[in-house]
Every structure is written in structure tokens, then in C-alpha cells.
């Protein structure tokens, strides 16, 4: 169970999350190219997701 692989994914608002590696990513989401354990993915997200505002709001402000 703990060895299950996940992938870091991102949507159009540049919100990040994780999805099951090797499974079709839900519509509206794209893999960013990072895979690992769930924790590794979350640690990676902590590095790359620096502005938690949705993209549309960032652009508008």
C-alpha cells in the first residue's frame, strides 16, 4: 500500500494535487512530470506551488 505510486497533477488554475500514477488523469488536470510516493509528491508540491491563489485571480489582480 505504502509503495503505491502517485503523480503530481495541476489544473488550469495552477492548483496542484496528486493522482494515482499510471491511471488516466481526470479531465481538466495534467501531470507535471513528477512521480513518487504520496509524501514525495506532496513534498515536491510544497516546493513548486508557491502562490496558492488560483491563476485567474492572480491575473486579475
Partner 1 sequence: MTSTTTRRGVTDAYPLSRLQAGMIYHAELAGDASYYHDIYSLRVHGPWDEDAFRHALHGLVAAHETLRTSFELTKFSEPLQLVHAEAEVPFEVIDLRGHQDLDGTLERWRRTEVGNAFDLSSAPLFRFVVHLVGENEFHFWWSFHHAIMDGWSLHSAVAELFAGYAAARQGRDPQFATPRTRFRDFVALELDALDDEDAEEFWQGELAGAEPALLPTPTKRADAIGTVEVSWHDAPDKTVVGVTELAERLRVPVRTVLLAAHLRVSAALLGRHDVITGVIGNGRPETSDAEQVKGLFIGTYPFRLELADSWSGFVASVFAKETAILPHRRYPLAAMVEHTGWNPFDIVFDFRRFRSYEGLSSQDDLSFDIGAYYEHTNFPITSGFVMTPDGSSLRLQIRYDAGRFDPADVDRISRGYLAVLERIATDPESSVVATSALADEDLDALAAHAAGPKLALDGPAGLYQRIETGSELAVRAVDGELDYDELHDLAGRIGGYLAAAGVKRGDPVGVCMNRNRLLLPALLGVLRIGANYVPLDPEYPIDRLRYIAEHSESAVLLYDEASAAVAAELKPQALSVEAAAEHDGAAAPVEVSGDDIAYTIYTSGSTGLPKGVQVRHRAVINLLESLGEVLDADEDMVHLATTSISFDIHVNEVFLPLIRGGSVLLAAREQVSDGTELRSLIESEPGLAAQGPPAMWRMLLDAGWRPYGMSHVLCGGEAFPRELADRLTADGVPVWNVYGPTETTVWSAVQRVAATGSMVPIGRPLGNTTMWILDKQMAPVFPGVPGELHIGGDGVARAYHRRPDLTADRFVPDPFSGNGSRLYRTGDLVRTLDDGTYEYLERVDLQVKVRGYRIELEEIEARIDTHPDVSMGVAAAPMGSDGERILVGYVVARNEIDGAKLREWCSQALPHYMVPQAWVFLDELPKTPNGKVDRKALPAIGGEASVGGDTTEPGTETERVLAEIWREVLELPAVGVHANFFDLGGHSLRALRVVLKVRERLQVELPVAAMIHASTIHRLAALIDRDKPGQNPLVMPLNETGRPTLFLFHPLGGHVFGYAPLSRELDGKVTVQAVRASGMEPGEPLRDSLADLVDAYLTELRAIQPHGPYNLAGWCMGASVAVETARRLRSEGEQVDFLGLIVANPFDPAPRILLNDSTALVQHMLGEGLDLDYDELAALGDTDRQVDYVLNRGSSRADVSSVDDAKRLLAVYQANARAITARTLPDYDGEAHVFVLPAENPTPPDMGWSKILTGPVRQHELPGGATTFLDPDQVSQLAAILAAEVGSAR
Q: What distance in Å separates the CA atoms of residue 21 and residue 23, rounded to the nearest whole number?
A: 6
Question: How far apart are CB 26 and partner 1 at their closest, in Å?
Answer: 4
Binding site for partner 1 (CB under 8 A): 8-9, 11-13, 15-20, 22-29, 38, 41-43, 45-46, 49-50, 52-54, 56-57, 60-61
Question: How far apart are CB 54 and partner 1 at their closest, in Å?
Answer: 5
28 and 54 Cβ atoms separated by less than 8 Å: no
Q: What distance in Å separates the CA atoms of residue 23 and residue 49, rounded to the nearest whole number?
A: 23
**Closer residue to partner 1 in complex, CB, 33/61:** 61
Amino acid at each position: 500500500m505504502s509503495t503505491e505510486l502517485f503523480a503530481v497533477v495541476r489544473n488550469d488554475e495552477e492548483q496542484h494535487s496528486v493522482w494515482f500514477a499510471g491511471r488516466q488523469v481526470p479531465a481538466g488536470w495534467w501531470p507535471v512530470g513528477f512521480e513518487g510516493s504520496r509524501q514525495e509528491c506532496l513534498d515536491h508540491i510544497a516546493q513548486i506551488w508557491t502562490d496558492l491563489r488560483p491563476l485567474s485571480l492572480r491575473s486579475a489582480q
